[in-house]
Chain A
C-alpha cells in the first residue's frame, strides 16, 4: 500500500453544520452598461461601439450579459462560446482592456459603476464583432509539432513515468488554446509571425515530458528568430491565462533549455 493510495478516513455519519453554511441567500441584482465593439464588413468597414443597459445578478458572468444582449436586445451581436465554464477556450475577449474568458469573469468582480467594455482579442484579424480568425494562432501551434514523438521500441503496456517526471510539465498541460496569452503579448501585436506564448507553452509540455524524444528538434524550432528570443518578459501572458498557467516561467524554462541544450 502506497502513501497516495491510503484509505481516506471514513467521514462521520452526521456532523453539525455551521449556520448559513454553503453560501446561498438572496442573489443581489444590479444594473450595468455593456459597451460592445461591433464590426461587420457585410454592413460597414467601420467598427463602432454599441451600448446596452442591462439588469444582471450577482452570479452572472460577462457571458451572461452578452447572452442577454443577443437573446433579448440585438440578435446580431456575434461571439463564440460553448462550455460556459472556462474549459473549452471559445470566449477569450478583451474585457475592460484585459484578456479574459467571458464565462469566467463575474460581473460583480468588475467595476459596474462604469460601462464594461468588451472587444475582440488583439493581433488576430477580426471577422465580425468579437469573432477573430483563429487560423494564424493554430498555425503556430501546429508548427511546434504538438504531439509526443518517441523513437524507442513501443512497450506492450504503458511507458513508465515517475510522479516527479509527470509533475515536471503538469502546469503546461492545462492549456485550452484560448489565445488569451498570445493575443495579450505586445510582441505578437506588432509581429504576427512570432510563435507567441501559447505555442511555446505547448512546446514546453512536450520538451519537459520524459517520454518525448524530440526535445532538440522543438528547441531548434523555437531558437528561430520568431521563436522564444522575441519574448520580452512583460508577463501579460501569465496575467491573461484563465487556467493560471505560469506562462512566462514556462517560456523562461524553454529559453534556458535552448541555451543548455539539456532538458
Chain B
C-alpha cells in the first residue's frame, strides 16, 4: 500500500476542483486527484455563460438574481445559499477576468452580458442581460483559465487517479442536548492509478469532493462518458446521505437522438422553438418570457408537443430550434461551436434550416449535502469535520428542484472557492486522522472481484439496459407505475451485475475494469434517484409526476435525504432510508411559479 500525505486532497479537476485548488494550494499542501487530465473535465463542455449582476449593459442587482434562482428552483432552494451565490457572483466573474479569462466585451471594453432562461429584471418583469460569456465556449474558457492558474501556482495533480473510496471513521460523541451519536471523521481517500493499476492511499486533513455529476444513468445525455456519479456513490456507500436526488435537469435543446448540448444561449440570442406546424409553441406555456422560460418548463413543453402529435421528423419525436431569422454573422460571432455541432453531427445548416432538438439529461440538482461553507453534513445539521464538497457532486442547495442556466458555472466558482479556502483553513488547525489498518482492503476487494469475476453478463449490456429504462421511465414525465417498473429493472440488473466478467485482466490502463466499477456506482445512484422520485408525490421543478401534477407545499416543501441503511426499507427497496430536511427560507415566500 502506497501512502501519500497532504493537508488537503481534492477529488476532481473540473471547475469546482480547480477553483478550490487555486485557493487551497496557496494556503496548504494540496493534491488534486482526477480520473482524467484536468482539461478533459466536463466543465469544458459548458457553453452559454455565467450569470452575475454586474449591470454592465442594463440595470441589474444581485437581489433580483437571488429571487430568480429561488423561483427557478421552485422554492426548494436554500435561500441563504442562493444569497451567497448571487452576491459573490460578481467577484467570481471579476476573479476569472483577473486570472485571464477572455470574456466577450462591450464596445466600452467591459464584460458583455446576454440573456438566459429564467434570469429576469425586477422579479420576473422581462428577461435581463446577466450572463457573462466567451462566445459559446464559456465553460471551456473557465476550465482552461483555472488550469492555467493551477499551473501558475504549481498545483500538484495526480492525473488518471480514480478515487474509489473515502476513509471514514466513526467516534462516539454527545450533542449539546446530551444525546449520544456517532460522529464521522475523515482520514483520506483511496485511489486507483490507471497507468499502473496500483492502489494509492492519500491521507489528508481535509478532503474536497468536486467530482461532478451522474448523467450517465441516462441514455440521452449531454454528459461525458466519465460522469458516472463516483463521488456521490462513494460517499453514499460510506453512510453519507444524498440530498434531493430525484431532481435531474433535462436540458431542452439536445441534438435530437444524440443528446449533444446546444446552449440555451441560442435562445438568449433570439432562437425559438417550433413544432411540426411551425408554431412558436412556448407562447402557450410561458406567455411572458416564452422560449426563455426555465429549462424544466421548456423541456416539459417540448415533450408535451411531441406527445400530442406535433413533433417533427419521420417518427415525430423531436421539435425544432429555429435560428434562421438570425444574421449568419451574428450566429458566427456568438454561437460558433453549437452551430458547428449541428453541421457535424446532424448535417443541418443552422443558417437556413431549423435544428432537430429534444431534451437531454444534463444536470443533477441533488448530491452530497453541504452548508454554505462547503462542509459536508452527515445528517440534517451535523458537519463532518474536514470533509467538503462543491459543484455538481454537492447539494448546497442553490438549485432546488431546477437549476437556472449559467448557475452551474457560477456554483463551481463560488462554492469551489469557498470549499478550497475553508478546507485549507481547517487543515491548518486540525491534526491528521490516523489511517486505519487495511484502509485499502475494501478497494482491493472491489477491484479484484471485478478483475477475477467469471460470470456471463457483459457490463456494456447491463449499462445499456439501465440507461434505456431510465430514459423511458424516469425522464421528463414520471408516474408511480413507471418508477416502480424501474426499481424492478434496477433490482434485476443489480442481481445480474454479480454475474459479470471483464476481458481485460491486466494492470495497465485497464479501462475495462474501471467501466465495471463505474457501472456499480451508476446502479447505486439510479436506485437512489428512483426511490426518491417515487417518494415525492408532487410535481416541482425538474421532477414531474403525472399522477401528482401539482406542487404540494403542505407535504413536500422539504429536501429529501437518502441514507444507506441495512435496517431500513424504502418502499420495495431494502437498505435505503429516506428522510427529509427543512428548506432554509430568508425573505421569499413561495408563490405560484408562472413565467
Residues of chain A touching chain B, judged by Cβ–Cβ distance below 8 Å, are 2-5, 8-9, 11-17, 21-26, 40-43, 59, 70-72, 74-76, 78-90, 104, 106, 127-129, 131, 134, 138, 142, 145-148, 150, 154, 157-163, 166, 169-170, 173-177, 206, 209, 211-212
Contact = CB atoms under 8 A, between A and B. Distances in A.
B270 A11 contact: yes
B277 interface: yes
A173 B141 contact: yes
A164 to B, nearest CB: 9
29 contacts: A9-B325, A15-B274, A17-B278, A22-B312, A23-B348, A24-B314, A42-B506, A59-B345, A75-B512, A76-B506, A78-B510, A81-B225, A82-B224, A86-B341, A87-B137, A88-B40, A106-B345, A145-B152, A157-B94, A158-B111, A160-B108, A160-B110, A162-B109, A166-B105, A173-B141, A173-B144, A175-B144, A176-B39, A211-B100
A84 B98 CA distance: 31
Given A24-B256, A26-B314, A163-B107, 14 more contacts: A4-B112, A13-B279, A17-B320, A22-B355, A23-B353, A85-B45, A87-B137, A88-B41, A89-B39, A148-B100, A157-B94, A158-B103, A160-B109, A162-B107
Contacts of B41: 88
A146 B146 CA distance: 11
A79 B226 CA distance: 13
A169 B135 CA distance: 13
Given A12-B280, A22-B353, A2 B107 contact: yes
Interface centre among A3, A79, A83, A170 (most CB of B within 10 A): A83
A74 B507 contact: no
B148 to A, nearest CB: 4
B143 to A, nearest CB: 9
B171 to A, nearest CB: 39
Contacts of B459: 71, 75
B313 A22 contact: yes
A128 B107 contact: no
B260 interface: yes
A213 B135 CA distance: 24
B140 interface: yes
Nearest to A17: B278
A24 B356 contact: yes
A82 B260 contact: no
Contacts of B346: 23, 59
A155 B137 CA distance: 25
Contacts of A209: 100, 102
B224 A11 contact: no
Contact of A128 (B106, B110, B149, B508): B508
Nearest to A15: B278
Nearest to B111: A158
A148 B99 contact: yes
B442 interface: no
Contacts of B134: 173
Contacts of A170: 102, 135
List the 7 closest A-B pairs by CB distance, nearest first.
A148-B100, A8-B270, A71-B460, A160-B109, A75-B503, A24-B313, A76-B504
Contact of B40 (A5, A86, A90, A159): A90
Interface in B93-126: 93-94, 97-100, 102-112
B373 interface: no
A24 B140 CA distance: 30
Contacts of A211: 100
A249 B301 CA distance: 47
A88 B503 contact: no
Interface SS of chain A: helix, strand, loop or mixed?
loop
Given A17-B354, A159-B97, A173-B141, A106 B344 contact: yes
B341 A173 contact: no
A163 B105 contact: yes
Contacts of A24: 256, 312-315, 318, 356
Nearest to A138: B37
Interface residues of B, number: 90
Contacts of B40: 80, 82-83, 88-90
B36 interface: yes
B204 interface: no
A21 B510 CA distance: 45
Contact of B508 (A40, A75, A148): A40
Given A89-B39, A90-B36, A82 B356 contact: no
A208 B569 CA distance: 62
Given A14-B279, A22-B355, A85 B105 contact: no
A1 B285 CA distance: 30
B512 A14 contact: no
B257 interface: yes
Interface in B33-84: 36-37, 39-42, 44-45, 57
B458 interface: yes
A106 B554 CA distance: 52
B44 A87 contact: yes
Given A26-B314, A42-B506, A166-B105, A76 B512 contact: yes
Contact of B272 (A11, A42, A150): A11
B258 interface: yes
A126 B437 CA distance: 37
Contacts of A16: 278
Given A13-B279, A157-B94, A160-B110, A75 B504 contact: yes
B100 A161 contact: no
B15 to A, nearest CB: 13
A82 B36 contact: yes
Contacts of B461: 71
Contacts of B42: 82-83, 88
A162 to B, nearest CB: 5
A67 to B, nearest CB: 8
Contacts of A75: 459, 502-504, 512
A8 B460 CA distance: 46
Contacts of B45: 83, 85, 87-88
A137 to B, nearest CB: 10
A24 B315 CA distance: 9
Contact of B274 (A17, A106, A128, A177): A17
Contacts of B226: 82
Nearest to B93: A158
B326 interface: yes
Contacts of A206: 100
A52 to B, nearest CB: 14
A24 to B, nearest CB: 4
B110 A158 contact: yes
Nearest to B464: A71
B181 interface: no
B385 to A, nearest CB: 33
A88 B326 CA distance: 29
Given A17-B354, A42-B506, A87 B140 contact: yes
